């Protein structure tokens, strides 16, 4: 049996002007350019971190407040927990968690080698409390870095939206292999009609709810009916019990 918990899944209501804008912007980026974007996805994220260094995203001190499952998954006080932060960026979520919880060990990975280097250069980085590595979650096997069924929780915070929709299940199957039976995947991401979605100019659309930014990075915007939850329900066919904690899709910048 698999338990799904859905929280706050409501698309933002559009104004008439916004609805008209989306109706006008139906032309898709050419297949050739889309293939190029997929091929250069890692390079584009690496260039993003080269331009922005560690200054683009704020530290996410809200994680344990928003994800009470990070606290409640302990069977007793003081129990050591193991976390995988899939798509860690430069550590904006990782380091606040390690600061707050001294009984936490974290694995953390990112698509961008440059982002991983920034994490290792962070003054709070401690190899005894976290293991950080570069990983393409759609292709590289997490078991090369993380023991099977060893992780109490996996976080996917603004991660799946950056993955091509056809490859999202590959990410989830990958993290599933390292998750303990009955434990949780915690995620947060862009919802349909997010303000960020409305900011895309004409010529940015890759597919249904899927867009490319000027820097070549991409973003998908999820609805309750498909996408995210469809991917997680796919995992329900696996043998282990798995709790899927869906923290609400956000209609603002991460």
Domain ranges of the chain: 3-246
- Whether the per-residue pLDDT at 206 is higher than 60: the answer is yes
From 144, 56, 64, 66, select the one nearest 107 (Cα to Cα).
144
- Whether the per-residue pLDDT at 67 is higher than 70: the answer is no
pLDDT of residue 27: 92
Yes or no: say if 109 and 134 are a contact pair by the CB < 8 Å rule: yes
DSSP readout, 34-57? Answer: HHHHHHTHHHHHHHHHHHHTT-SS
Residue 27 CA, chain-centre distance (Å), reads 27
User: Edge to edge, what strands does the sheet with 218-220 contain?
Assistant: 205-207, 210-212, 218-220
- Whether the per-residue pLDDT at 153 is higher than 80: the answer is yes
109 Cβ contact partners less than 8 Å away, ≥ 6 residues apart: 84, 85, 86, 87, 88, 116, 132, 133, 134, 135, 137, 142, 145
Cα–Cα distance measured from residue 83 to residue 140, given in angstroms and rounded to the nearest whole number: 19
pLDDT of residue 235: 52
pLDDT of residue 249: 45
Q: Residue 98 — very low, low, confident or very high, per pLDDT cuts 50/70/90?
A: very high
DSSP readout, 15-39? Answer: PHHHHHHHHH--PBPPHHHHHHHHH
Cα–Cα distance measured from residue 39 to residue 86, given in angstroms and rounded to the nearest whole number: 21
What integer is the mean pLDDT of 128-157? 96
- Predicted model pTM: 0.83
Which structure tokens are listed for 115?
A: 């982002």
Would the CA dihedral through 22, 26, 31, 33 be positive or negative? negative
Q: Residue 192 — very low, low, confident or very high, per pLDDT cuts 50/70/90?
A: confident
pLDDT of residue 91: 92
Q: What is the CATH number of domain 3-246?
A: 3.40.50.150
Q: Residue 2 — very low, low, confident or very high, per pLDDT cuts 50/70/90?
A: very low
What integer is the mean pLDDT of 209-230? 80
Alpha-carbon distances, residue 201 vs 82, 227, 238 (angstroms):
42, 23, 41
- Whether the per-residue pLDDT at 195 is higher than 50: the answer is yes
3-state SS class at 200: coil
- Do β-strands 205-207 and 81-86 pair in parallel, antiparallel, or remain unpaired? unpaired
Q: Residue 25 — very low, low, confident or very high, per pLDDT cuts 50/70/90?
A: confident
Place of tokens 């698509």: 111
Cα–Cα distance measured from residue 141 to residue 171, given in angstroms and rounded to the nearest whole number: 10
pLDDT of residue 247: 38
């Amino acid at each position: 049996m698999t338990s799904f918990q859905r929280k706050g899944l409501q698309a933002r209501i559009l104004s008439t002007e916004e609805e008209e804008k989306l109706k006008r912007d139906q032309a898709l980026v050419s297949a050739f350019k889309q293939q190029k974007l997929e091929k250069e996805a890692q390079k584009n994220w690496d260039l993003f971190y080269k331009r922005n260094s560690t200054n683009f995203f704020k530290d996410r001190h809200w994680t344990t407040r928003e994800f009470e499952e990070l606290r409640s998954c302990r069977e007793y006080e003081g129990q050591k927990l193991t976390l995988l932060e899939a798509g860690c960026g430069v550590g904006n979520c990782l380091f606040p968690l390690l600061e707050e919880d001294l009984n936490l060990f974290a694995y953390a990975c990112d698509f961008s080698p440059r982002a991983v280097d920034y994490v290792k250069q962070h003054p709070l980085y401690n190899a005894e409390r976290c293991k950080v590595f570069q990983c393409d979650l759609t292709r590289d096997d997490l078991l090369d870095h993380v023991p099977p069924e060893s992780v109490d929780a996996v976080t996917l915070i603004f991660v799946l939206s950056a993955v091509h929709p056809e490859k999202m299940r590959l990410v989830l199957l990958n993290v599933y292999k390292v998750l303990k039976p009955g434990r949780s995947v915690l995620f947060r991401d862009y919802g349909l009609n997010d303000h960020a979605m409305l900011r895309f100019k004409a010529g940015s659309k890759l597919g249904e709810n899927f867009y490319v930014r000027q820097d070549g990075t991409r973003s998908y915007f999820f609805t309750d009916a498909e996408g995210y939850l469809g991917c997680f329900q796919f995992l329900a066919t696996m043998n282990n019990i798995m709790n899927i904690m869906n923290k609400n899709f956000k209609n603002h910048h991460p």
